[in-house]
Amino acid sequence: MKKMNVKAILFILLTISFSYAVKAQNGDQKWGVGIYLNFNDYKGDITNDFWEFSNADPLIGSATLGRYLNRSFDGVLRLSIFNIETESAIGHFDDWLKNANLNLKYKFNNGYLLNEESRISPFLIAGLGYTHAKAKGRVKEIDFNKKYDNVNFYYGAGLTVRIDDRWSVALESGIYYPLSDRYDGIKSKTGNTEKYNDKFLHNTIGVVYNFGKSKDTDGDGVSDRRDDCPNTPEGIVVDKHGCPLDSDGDGVADYEDECPMLAGDKLLKGCPDKDGDGVSDKDDMCPDVKGEIHFNGCPDTDGDGVQDSEDHCPEEKGLKELNGCPDSDGDGVADALDKCPDTKPGYRVDESGCAFDNDKDGVVNEEDKCPEQAGLPENYGCPEIKVEVKKQLELAARNVNFALGRDILTAESMKILDEVVKIMDENPAYSLKISGYTDSIGRDDMNLKLSEKRALATKSYLISKGILESNITAKGYGEANPVADNKTAAGRALNRRVEFVLFIK
């Protein structure tokens, strides 16, 4: 074959090999078989034809069986057959060589210099082998035709270019260093020691098919060895690293991302939250204003539990039942509508927030002892006792008499007390205070007891006529507070008395 044709073949194969993308990992398919074309040269006693490419038939080649050991090393068994034919003034020879070599290959894409995913993998290779050679030729007019079997050492370097997960193109150049110097018919010696001058340059180009089943626990098509997400759920589309696709790059896989085309927050299932209130924009009723989660992202400025859009007083903390407005006096009427904002707690109010005043006397019902009768504020809302009523009571008090030295009412006194009952019935809001007195005749203690009994006797009679006991108080004061001179009979008569006073509790 002509030298130019060989170079043309090499150029075409290299062009094809570099036109493919690479996806494979060396450890995914641990076995590989290769078929190669050989381009071999010879260096020895007859010629030095290294890198001539014209001494061998490239249709003769090699086959390999490789085994992935780890990310740095492969084991390679190579079987080769090649022909060397050359001549010079010294002579010529034509050798056929069959070789088997077991080699260890060191790969540079082991993560130290190059990444395992690099499509180009340079390597060094070395090993030992066995060569069978059939040589014939003429050296210095002497014909020879012999067979040789011997051990050889091989070392070289090369480049692997991966096409896909299975296929790759490999180029390699190395030297077979046989432990014999007889392939060209000339045996060189230095004294009694044989010199090993015969060497063979072995250049190959070929294709390698990788096979072997990779472990893929989650079945996503990416082997466990290079799967960064080995537990991806079944059926999920993954990237080259075995991880679920994340189109928007927000750290939430598309299959879990409710907004797969918009970068968002992991806590919001991948959806954005531009106002930062913890409610994703797609669910946020107020997406441009920071709000509250329980109001679907809408704000509650005054923090009263009523969102601003429904709060009639958004700047003042208020009550839900009053649409977010305050009620200072707690009467159920918002301050803005309350005409009586200081109503006491518990008072019933009208729609204006003012306490009810049925009789319109300026005293609210809760404080009015006579809520159905207009009265005076100083009299607890009750009407003032008429002058004539007061005179009746004074007259009655002066005419209430008892048996001498006793607490028994006279018949005439009972008639007078019936007038007092009538006055009490006409003024139900009033209570009656009964005070009993005596003159100064007798012992003080006896007078005090007697006045007490007479006051109680008066009270008992009024109760018997239907006046509530709770509306009457009675007390005796003896000879205290005289209204006349106890030295005269007329004065002492005036001092033996009861007094009636109407009052409101």
Of 101, 95, 97, 205, the closest CA to residue 153 belongs to 101
Can you give the residue range of the structural domain that contains 491?
Answer: 387-503
Integer Cα distance of 68 and 54 in angstroms: 34
Phi, psi angle pair for 77, to nearest 5°: -100, 125
Please indicate, yes or no, if residue 305 is contained in any of the structural domains: no
Q: How far apart are the first and last CA of the chain?
A: 138
Of 203, 160, 183, 177, the closest CA to residue 46 belongs to 183
Contact 326, 316 (CB under 8 A): yes
Global pTM reads 0.48
Integer Cα distance of 217 and 176 in angstroms: 44
Evaluate if residue 122 carries a pLDDT over 50. Answer: yes
Of 204, 77, 190, 189, the closest CA to residue 129 belongs to 77
Contact 359, 381 (CB under 8 A): yes
Helix (H, G, I), strand (E, B) or coil at 296: coil
Contact 129, 151 (CB under 8 A): yes
Integer Cα distance of 378 and 8 in angstroms: 127
Contact 374, 359 (CB under 8 A): yes
Residue 227 tokens, joined: 């799967």
pLDDT in tens, 216-243: 788 887 887 778 888 888 888 898 888 9
pLDDT at residue 112, rounded to an integer: 79
Contact 319, 332 (CB under 8 A): no
pLDDT at residue 55, rounded to an integer: 56
Report the 10 Å Cβ neighbour count for 28: 21
Name the strands in the sheet holding 431-436, side by side, starting at the edge strand that comes first in the sequence: 472-476, 431-436, 498-503
Handedness of CA 181, 182, 184, 186 (dihedral sign): positive
Evaluate if residue 51 carries a pLDDT over 50. Answer: yes
- Residue burial 287-312, b: 16+ Cβ < 10 Å; e: rest: beebbbeebebbbbbbebebbbeebe
Please indicate, yes or no, if residue 475 is contained in any of the structural domains: yes
Boundary residue ending a domain (211, 229, 248): 211
Please indicate, yes or no, if residue 252 is contained in any of the structural domains: no
pLDDT at residue 24, rounded to an integer: 33
Integer Cα distance of 281 and 262 in angstroms: 11
Contact 223, 25 (CB under 8 A): yes
pLDDT band of residue 56 (cuts 50, 70, 90) is low
Question: Please, what is the average pLDDT of the chain?
Answer: 85
pLDDT at residue 118, rounded to an integer: 81
pLDDT at residue 27, rounded to an integer: 64
- Output DSSP code: residue 344: P
Boundary residue ending a domain (147, 179, 211): 211
Integer Cα distance of 224 and 84 in angstroms: 47
Helix (H, G, I), strand (E, B) or coil at 161: strand
**Average confidence (pLDDT) over 200-229:** 84
pLDDT at residue 485, rounded to an integer: 92
Evaluate if residue 79 carries a pLDDT over 80. Answer: yes
Element (H, E) at 399: helix 387-399
Please indicate, yes or no, if residue 378 is contained in any of the structural domains: no
Q: How many domains does the chain have?
A: 2
Share of the chain above pLDDT 90, in %: 35
pLDDT at residue 75, rounded to an integer: 95
Helix (H, G, I), strand (E, B) or coil at 426: helix
pLDDT at residue 418, rounded to an integer: 93
Contact 311, 300 (CB under 8 A): yes
Evaluate if residue 18 carries a pLDDT over 60. Answer: no
Please indicate, yes or no, if residue 309 is contained in any of the structural domains: no
Integer Cα distance of 297 and 113 in angstroms: 52
Please indicate, yes or no, if residue 44 is contained in any of the structural domains: yes
pLDDT in tens, 370-407: 888 888 888 888 888 888 888 888 888 888 888 777 88
Q: What residues contact residue 89 under an 8 Å CB cut-off, 6+ apart?
A: none
pLDDT at residue 3, rounded to an integer: 41
pLDDT band of residue 2 (cuts 50, 70, 90) is very low
Residue 261 tokens, joined: 């085309």
Phi, psi angle pair for 177, to nearest 5°: -115, 90
**In which residue are the tokens 């679907």 written?**
296
Residue bearing the bigger pLDDT, 161 or 4: 161
Residue 141's CATH number: 2.40.160.20
Q: DSSP letters of 435-458?
A: EE---SSS-HHHHHHHHHHHHHHH
pLDDT in tens, 345-370: 888 998 888 988 888 888 898 888 88
Question: What does the H/E/C string look like for 313-331?
Answer: CCCCCCEHHHCCECCCCCC
363 CB burial (10 A radius; 0-12, 13-18, 19+): buried
145 CB burial (10 A radius; 0-12, 13-18, 19+): exposed
Q: DSSP letters of 173-186?
A: EEEEEES-S-TTS-
pLDDT band of residue 54 (cuts 50, 70, 90) is low
Evaluate if residue 17 carries a pLDDT over 70. Answer: no
Integer Cα distance of 205 and 37 in angstroms: 6
What number of H helices and E strands is found in the chain? 5, 13
Residue 495's CATH number: 3.30.1330.60
Evaluate if residue 7 carries a pLDDT over 70. Answer: no
Integer Cα distance of 462 and 440 in angstroms: 27
Please indicate, yes or no, if residue 89 is contained in any of the structural domains: yes
pLDDT in tens, 150-174: 899 999 999 999 888 789 999 999 9
Residue 336 tokens, joined: 């803005």
Please indicate, yes or no, if residue 310 is contained in any of the structural domains: no
Of 88, 81, 74, 62, the closest CA to residue 172 belongs to 62
Boundary residue ending a domain (177, 211, 245): 211
Share of the chain above pLDDT 70, in %: 92
